[in-house]
Structure 1
Amino acid sequence: MKFKFFRPKPSPAAAASTGGRVVYAIGDIHGHLDLLDELLDVIARDFATLGRHDRPVLVFVGDYVDRGPASRGVIERLIALTAASAQQGVFEVRALMGNHEQTMLSFLDNPEAGAAWVEFGGADTMTSYGVARPIGRVDQDAWRNIQASFQTQVPASHLAFLQALELSATYGDYFFVHAGVRPGVPLDRQTPEDLMWIRNDFLSQPHRLPCVVVHGHTPDEEPFIGPDRINIDTGAYATGVLTAVRLIEGSPVVLQARKSRRA
């Protein structure tokens, strides 16, 4: 699948500090639990090669749900990872809010958001929670019934996880966010809307901020590593490739999980 979004020219790789931490940023998962589990194994093997004994950080940049078959399973896995992080202290987990999580929460609050969410890939998330996807035109009474059914199927732990998602994370010179930033606007004045949804204004010009922005949201067949931003959304739902980037001192290192080509 060829994505039609803005594709920048190649540029020098980002080289920044993480403040001494080993950070793995994971791109948009979109309901592909198989790829997530494979990528976590790849990350574990990669960290073992570093010969370090400190605590690595896993930063998930959002869009865990929609478009893939296992949104519920992805949320379960992320909840389990977060719990293991707190209980065992082997690694640190930071989970960010994507625009698809925001849209799912909007539907849980307001049935009128259902039609837009289904067009956005939400029907696959409904199915993963055991709720039949709507067929054809659906009136508001039907949407209220679908919402009520969906609310009963989403566990309280899942809702709490989604509501607790962060908008951003910072490690050293790196600023992690789902979509990007408004160029020229200080980080502490960025709006949630831009952090979760911005695209062209961010991609088409340098952001002129004192950080390297690590983001997803805009899929491409290949990750992009530039002087002021790194894009790790390789469209897992379409390409079968889920991407992470390892950040320490020196150049970023790309890690990937790929679906088997076998029939």
Structure 2
Amino acid sequence: MLPFFRSRLSKPKPQLPEGVRVYAMSDIHGCAHLLMPMLRVIDADLAHSRPSHAIEVFMGDYIDRGPDTRSTLDILIERSRRNNTVFLKGNHESFLVRVLREPHLLNDWLRIGGAQTLASYGVSSADLRGDPTNLLRELARAIPRSHVEFLRNLRLSFTCGDFFFVHAGIRPGLPLSEQHEDDLLSIRDEFLKSDEHFSKYIVHGHTPVRSAELRANRANIDTGAYATGNLTLMSIQGTRLLAV
């Protein structure tokens, strides 16, 4: 693991409660083959350091674009049975839930990676034949109930100590308690260009960067796994942030 953070942040540094360690990942996008090695890194670190309280935070966009959404959700659901996990919603999960209610949006979903998700459940978008309702019925039959429950129970954000975890970011100028779901899942420029020191340090994904980007007010750990083969894991303990 490589330290990124200490010299770039003005005091006081954001801090987790004593004894707490957070492991964070974002934008897995169906890359189960990249997720498993990162989970092994977490397990090895837990076995070596034995923190008093470990929390694994996954910050959305588990589905679409990458090759194996189904296995990715299976792995995360199984992980939740053995570890202390927090699962946040991403814009891709939100859009899939909307597509299931509004079939006319199917082609929009396919264009942003839905075809790969369908294929992972054994459903081919080539079977569309002009009727999205039938294709979505086929998906509804193929997707396990545990996956449906997983998608329904995703949280919008998670706070621990001085850190606020969210998929995309926040609307500058609004208190964290008044943020809108659309911004938490999809905001880009207004947040990314802001130098505002928010009430919490924001850890997010959603906008791919070449390597983990740590700034004075936020950290972006979406490194475009499905396109680059690089899934970033961040570990936070006390005031120390490490990324691999």
TM superposition score normalised by structure 1: 0.85
Corresponding position: 1:147 with 2:136: yes
The aligned residue for residue 225 of structure 1 is 214
Q: Spell out the pairing of 1:199-210 with structure 2 (5 A cutoff).
A: 199-210=188-199
Change (3 A) 1:245 1:13: farther
Residue 138 (structure 1) shift: 5.4
**Aligned residues of 1:13 and 1:251 also touching (Cα < 8 A):** no
- After the TM superposition, list the runs of 4 or more consecutive aligned residues in structure 1 that deviate by more than 4 angstroms: none
Residue 47 (structure 1) shift: 2.9
The aligned residue for residue 215 of structure 1 is 204
In the aligned structure 2, how far is the partner of 1:53 from the partner of 1:24?
A: 12
For residue 189 of structure 1, what is the amino acid of its counterpart?
A: E
Deviations, residues 184-226 of structure 1 (Å, cap 9, x unaligned):
1000100000000001110011244211100000001111011
The aligned residue for residue 236 of structure 1 is 225
**Aligned residues of 2:167 and 2:205 also touching (Cα < 8 A):** yes
Deviations, residues 29-61 of structure 1 (Å, cap 9, x unaligned):
0000011000011122223332x3423100000
Corresponding position: 1:12 with 2:12: no
Residue 109 (structure 1) shift: 1.8
Identity of aligned residues (%): 40
In the aligned structure 2, how far is the partner of 1:147 from the partner of 1:116?
A: 13
Corresponding position: 1:184 with 2:182: no
In the aligned structure 2, how far is the partner of 1:207 from the partner of 1:46?
A: 34
Corresponding position: 1:29 with 2:32: no
In the aligned structure 2, how far is the partner of 1:26 from the partner of 1:175?
A: 14
The aligned residue for residue 260 of structure 1 is none
SS in 2 for 1:22: strand
Where do 5+ consecutive residues of structure 2 fail to align?
Answer: 1-6
The aligned residue for residue 161 of structure 1 is 150
The aligned residue for residue 100 of structure 2 is 108
- Aligned mate of 2:52, from 49, 54, 63: 54
Corresponding position: 1:38 with 2:30: no
- Aligned mate of 2:112, from 116, 120, 124: 120
For residue 143 of structure 1, what is the amino acid of its counterpart?
A: P
Q: Which moved more, 1:108-117 or 1:231-240?
A: 108-117
TM superposition score normalised by structure 2: 0.92
In the aligned structure 1, how far is the partner of 2:126 from the partner of 2:99?
A: 14
Corresponding position: 1:94 with 2:86: yes
- Aligned mate of 1:129, from 110, 121, 126: 121
**Aligned residues of 2:59 and 2:88 also touching (Cα < 8 A):** yes
Deviations, residues 151-181 of structure 1 (Å, cap 9, x unaligned):
1111111111100000000000000000000
For residue 8 of structure 2, what is the amino acid of its counterpart?
A: P
In the aligned structure 2, how far is the partner of 1:121 from the partner of 1:152?
A: 20
Paired residues in the alignment total 235
In the aligned structure 2, how far is the partner of 1:55 from the partner of 1:34?
A: 27
SS in 1 for 2:28: coil
Where do 5+ consecutive residues of structure 1 fail to align?
Answer: 1-10, 86-91, 256-263
